[in-house]
Amino acid sequence: MKLLHQIDPEKLEQAGHGQGFIAALDQSGGSTPKALKGYGIDEVAFTVNGVRDDKKMFDLVHEMRTRVIKSPEFNGQRIMGAILFEQTMERTIDGLGTAEFLWQKKHVVPFLKCDKGLADEEHGVRLMKPIPHLDDTLEKAVSHGVFGTKMRSVVNHYDEVGIRAIVDQQFAVGLQIAEHGLVPILEPETTITAPDRAQSEKLLHDLFVEKIAKLPEGALIMIKISIPVDNHLWDDLIDNPHVVRIVALSGGYSRDEANAKLKHCKGIIASFSRALLQDLRAQQTDAQFDASIKSAIDSIYDASVNKVAD
């Protein structure tokens, strides 16, 4: 595999061995209204004459993310990385690009959400939609100092054909991303309410093992999964030389539930979004805001770092 750019060794060290977890700050157009509502900003704040004003909406969500990132509680000692929406990457914080600010001011590794959403369900899964102009987006990410990318697929029910299709797509796009000197986070989420979730996760794991064994020398990936039913399912890949890190999403669990489950998963750290932001409100004073985010960060850090032996 020919790399177009070299991976930054300092960011690689933080991504692979830094303490803490990943903050997923990558709500896109479809999920932004819900994220703002959770933050205490109703849709009326970005509606003009009954029509949603997307510019105002994205301005407001960037203000929310900026407040999170600039909080003194948000730093590379407890937060290893942060995932950004493309528009967030292109915006600035205090005159620096958001990705540049994260690394230069916070020592937090920047990642970019690069998928364009999910296709309709087929064979029990939702593949990624096509990603137009991906190479251009990746080069833009490189120019902003981004370390890696994230792309999400979803397994709703066990179906071998569908799950194989997800793994094939994730690895094919992941190798395209890796050629740009970026580390792809492959995210095959499993729906936590599915009664056959454990069976789906076992097949996902086994297919990942097969694919990783065939990766070119030096190829690096990260893996993002739902907190697994079997706490030890992914143990064999934690120290694999191709795998920089394995991370888990909260996937619909409350923060307390997600933390309690994650503490039993050796070597897997959090990559939480809603579970990180759930207690933050636009109406809070800076002191209240910082206290709320400190409580969230402390608990997610603890679940990511201080494991319970099974």
Q: Catalytic amino acids?
A: 187, 224
Residues 6+ apart with CB under 8 A from 142: 4, 5, 180, 181, 182
Listed as own residue / partner, the contacts of 97-103 with beta carbons closer than 8 Å and 24 or more positions apart are 97/144, 97/145, 98/65, 98/69, 99/141, 99/144, 99/145, 99/146, 100/144, 100/145, 101/69, 102/69, 103/11, 103/145
Hey, is 283 helix, strand or coil?
A: coil
From residue 195, give the alpha-carbon distance in Å to each of 1, 109, 148.
40, 36, 33
The H or E element that residue 178 is part of is: helix 160-178
DSSP string computed for 234-247? TGGGTT-TTEEEEE
Q: What is the residue type of 125?
A: V
CA 24 – CA 8 distance, rounded (Å): 21
> In the structure encoding, which two tokens stand for residue 77, read together?
């000692």
* Collapsed DSSP state (helix, strand, coil) of residue 158: coil
